[in-house]
Structures are given as C-alpha cells and as structure tokens.
A and B are shown apart, each in its own frame.
Chain A
Amino acid sequence: MMTNPTGRLTQGQFSFLPDLTDDEIALQIQYGLGKGYAWSVEYTDDPHPRNTYWEMFGMPMFDLRDAAGVMAELRECRKTFPQHYIRLMAFDSTRGVESIAMSFIVNRPENEPGFGLVRQEVNGRSMRYTVRGYAADKPEAERY
C-alpha cells in the first residue's frame, strides 16, 4: 500500500477521484472522439514514473469513431490482464501538438505496493536517487 493520500499510483488525469465506472469512461472517450483524437489501450506491470512505453494492446484506433468500440478493446484487455495497470491514451495529430492529449488509468492491480527510494551517497552532501518499484524485482507478468 502506498502512503500518499490516495494510497495508490496517482498517474493520469483522474487518479484522485473514485474509479470511473464504464459509463463514465465511455463519456471521456466520447469527448476525445469529438475532438478528433485516436484512442489507444496500453498496459504494464511496471508503472515506474519514467517507464514511458507501456505495452500497446493493439494499435491506436485511428478510424474508430464510436466509444463502444474502444470500450470493447478495454474489456478485452482487462480480461487478458486483470492484474495489470491499464490506461487509455488519446492521440492528437494536430500540427503543433502531435502528442498525447488525454491519459487516465482504467485498471489497477488489487495490491499496489508502490516504490522505494534508493539513496546513494556521493560527493559531500550530494545524493543519487533511484526510484525502484517493489514489484519490479519479479520477472515480467509475475509482478502482481
């Protein structure tokens, strides 16, 4: 259990709110589709703050204009990886943005052990810091 006020990983747009229901998730997807974004489902069992590349559960759904389709992909991903972190990401291809426009977590493992801080004393009072996931010592797919 993590000791921050939420007791859990706080990445993404809505981690401080109660978990979004499927209906609420669909509304967010619809908002993104309305803006012309392409949705993607990604999962990982290594949510280190600088682990940029979560696994893609298929490619971004560029031609999908219906929230139900994205929800179907999400359900499939949850079924395959029930104990992984899963996030929805929306890509905006507008010139001058061309990046991620939305990102929020839609599935978590039951138990979130979080991260430790490894300190290495170096030169005088300086310190080198490493953030290390408690679950990350185990091999991939056996972490939660």
Chain B
Amino acid sequence: MNKPVEPGVITDAKKRYSAGVLKYRQMGYWDADYVPKDTDTLCLFRITPQDGVDPIEAAAAVAGESSTATWTVVWTDRLTACDSYRAKAYRVEPVPNNPGQYFAWVAYDIILFEEGSIANITASLIGNVFSFKPLKAARLEDIRMPVALVKTFKGPPTGLVVERERLDKFGRPLLGATTKPKLGLSGRNYGRVIYEGLKGGLDFMKDDENINSQPFMHWRDRFLYVMDAVNKASAATGEVKGSYLNVTGATMEDIYERAEFAKELGSVVIMLDLIIGWSAIQSMANWARKNDMIVHMHRAGHGTYTRQKSHGVSFRVMAKWLRLAGVDHLHTGTAVGKLEGDPMTVQGYYNVCRDSFTRQDLPRGLFFDQDWCDMKKVMPVASGGIHAGQMHQLISLFGDDVILQFGGGTIGHPAGIQAGAVANRVALECMVKARNEGKDINVEGPDILRKAAQTCTPLKQALDTWGDISFNYTSTDTSDFAVTPAVA
C-alpha cells in the first residue's frame, strides 16, 4: 500500500527503493539546482496539470514518463546507473497570460538516445508521456539537441545551396505550383498542367499530398507524362525544370519502386508525405543521397500534432527533427496565405530550416540556441492561398531562400496557366530587383507591382483578380513569452 512520504528527494537508498508509490519529484526527476550539460538534450514542455496537481510534480512526472519511470518503485533500478537515465525537470514557470499552463524545462542525458534515430528520440519524448493522466494536456514547444547528437545525423541529402547549384537558379526565391484539381485528372491531362506552368516561367510543379496511385491515374502514367512535360518545358525555356513526383505508397517496397522509376526517367526531385513516418523518411533520405535526388517533404498531417497550442508538438520541433532526418524541402507556412500561421512564429520555423546556428528568439518561439554543426540547410516552402499581389510581403518575410508556391494563383489565372506563371515570375523578379536597388518593398511593394503590370498584361490580370484577397484570421499558434527587462 501507499506509504506516507516526506517531501523532497529521498536520498536514502533503502527508503527510495522500498516497494510502493512515490512522488516523481521524490524519485529524482526534479532538481531545481540541476545545471544542464552541453551534451544534454533540453526540452521545453507546455503542460496543463489536472486540477489539484502541483506543477512541479507534473513537470517531474513528464521527465519521468519520457525517460525511465514507471508508476511504481522498481528494485531493478538498482541494477543500473539509474540516475543517468532519469530525465531531470529543472525549471517550471507559469505560461504568461495562460492560467493553468506551465512551461517545464527537462534535460535528458545523451545516453538516452540511439544515434541517428528520430524514431528513438520521438518514442521517448512524445511517447507515453502524452497520454499521461495527471496532465490535461502537454505540448513539446521546443528542443535543443547537443552537438554530439546532431552529428550522428546526416541531414538533408542535397541541401538548399547544392540544390541551387544543380538547378542553376540563384539570388531569388524559387517558384512552384501544385497541380490542381488535386484529384481526377488523367495522366495525360495532368501533364498538360505541368507543361503550361513550367513553360510559363515556374521552376517547379508539384504533385499534391494525396496523389498516389488512384483509379483515375496510375503512378507510372503520371510519372511518364509529367517527365515529358518537364523536358519539353526545359527545352522551351533553356532552364532546368522539375516536378515533385510524389512517391508515397503503402509499403516501403512501393516507395522504393516509385522512387527508382522517377530516377530512371531523369527527375531531379521526388516527394514524400510526412505521414509515411520517421523511419521511412530516414530510409528515403539515404536513398536520395545515393541517387542525387532532392527530397520534397509535404507536411501532410502535421496539424494533428502541431496546431493546438495546449497539446501536441510545435512545428518548430518537427522542423528540427526533419532537418536531422534528411529532407531538402519542407512546407513551413506562408503567414499571409490560407493556412494557419502567425508571421513571427512562421519565421521561427524558417530559421530552424536555414540557420547555421539558431539563436534563442522568444518572439519567434525559439527558446533555445541550437548549433547545427554545418548541417545542410532545408529549403522552406510557402504554399497555400498566396498570390502575386502579396509578393512584397512574402519576400520581406522570408527572403530569397524559399520556394513560393502559387497553385490556385497560377492555374486559376483568367488568361490561362502560362499567363498565371508569367504573372508570378514577373512579380517575383521585379520585387527582387527593387529590393536590391534599395527600395523599401514593404511600403512601395504594391506600386512596384502596378508599375511592372503596365508592361505585363498577365500580372495586371492577376492583380485585378486577386489583388485584394487576404486571409486575416486569428492564429491559434502564437508564441507566449514574457519580455524580460535587460539587466542594467
């Protein structure tokens, strides 16, 4: 039966390991004096304890349940160097402006994780702990991985610098579009959209996340027609072009088979959906390294983890794991488009993809410094409900190293797909040029676009059609932080 316990860590081994249930903080999962080591993995959780549960005990429980703890004392702990394996919650603070929620900092010794395995890291950090009853909700807000752990991962197979060299495209964002409608086009009709978009001036076209091999279009048919379109557009423009061939399939064998065919046909890029899982992603990163392939990651399904602020995993953590796991493109939000995203928070995701060293930046939701140890950089992708009229905002928010994808904004152009592509490319080039000339595009952007439209009818039509469209909904995921006054 449960024995009465004294508060505080029990240091007497006999008492500590006598059968029964102890509080997590007494078992060694809470240590307010703990100084994190450079080799520790640090996690920041946002926790909502059940009513009546002490926040420190809740934080200790998170540390316990994400490392060694079971619900009761086990004597077999004493066969191990058990203190090494216990994660240590070392700091708990109320979340500013969110009553009932607490930030809990937890440190994990480097021995806890298998080298080079996101599956192993996630099994601990977002495993059982997220179903733990004493918490109403928990969210992994941010993570700092030590240099020694980062170096066990190979990272992006190509990286954004080498991608640009292969594509021969520098000094401007890349342009893409997702083929629409998502479903129902035959392979032949599908290839038409690819050809028009690429010939019109886009760098990439893209399969959608749920285009795999349905009755209306077998995957081989899609690949064959798409590659005909890509090569024809390349000849028509003199540029390297690509189309993300989605190789997602039911089994690893299917995925490999599709990727091999894409390679055989000369595609520069393949595409994976996030829902294939961490191990499959790491396998395909290895395959891509071996086959000079760019890997486009569509974050399909991430909203189930990332969207709710009180429970799940922040996308900045997902982005860090995906960079380690090895993807070259990652959808990271638009801030101004139709999908979720507060601009500062979204910029935080971009930084995680592209930084050599990510600095703590609370307004952007980045709680830790992260040294990337020269790991290749991921090209972020802004896709979903954006159009040429927002070009100045997009370039101002995200800079040059980004792929801007205008699906509806290309294919829905009143004068056709090529005209839509021209509008986007002209808008892009005139804005980059103006910014480089020293113009303040945040202020002058709309004028710059209107001026360029005077000599470009497709851009004029695009601005007339979509110029005023915006998606101004309140974001559900903004960063919570208190401004700490600088010490004088």
Contact = CB atoms under 8 A, between A and B. Distances in A.
Interface of A: 2-6, 9-11, 13-18, 20, 24, 27-28, 31, 47-50, 52, 89-90, 95-104, 114-117, 125-127, 129, 131-132
A136 to B, nearest CB: 12
A129 B231 contact: yes
B237 A9 contact: yes
A99 B165 contact: yes
B237 A4 contact: yes
Contact of B171 (A13, A114, A129): A13
A79 B298 CA distance: 49
Given A4-B199, A31-B438, A103-B171, A11 B238 contact: yes
Interface stretch (B31-39, B330-338, B428-436, B470-478): B428-436
B236 A49 contact: no
B171 A99 contact: no
Given A97-B161, A100-B164, A125-B224, A27 B238 contact: no
Contact of A131 (B224, B234, B421): B234
Nearest to B171: A102
Interface in B256-275: 264-266
Interface in B195-245: 199-201, 224, 227-228, 231-232, 234-240
Interface of B: 161-162, 164-165, 168, 170-172, 199-201, 224, 227-228, 231-232, 234-240, 264-266, 356, 374, 377, 418-419, 421-422, 425-426, 429-430, 432-433, 436-438, 452, 455, 458
A101 B236 contact: no
Contacts of A127: 224, 227-228
Contact of B231 (A28, A89, A131): A131
B228 A116 contact: no
B436 A27 contact: yes
A104 B171 contact: yes
Nearest to A15: B429
Nearest to B238: A9
A98 B159 CA distance: 13
Given A10-B239, A13-B171, A96-B377, A129 B266 contact: yes
Given A17-B430, A96-B374, A52 B237 contact: no
Given A16-B429, A17-B433, A2 B224 contact: no
Which has the most chain B C-beta neighbours within 10 Å: A14, A16, A103?
Answer: A16
Contacts of B422: 5, 16
Contacts of B161: 96-99
A24 B437 CA distance: 8
Contact of A16 (B201, B232, B240, B377): B201
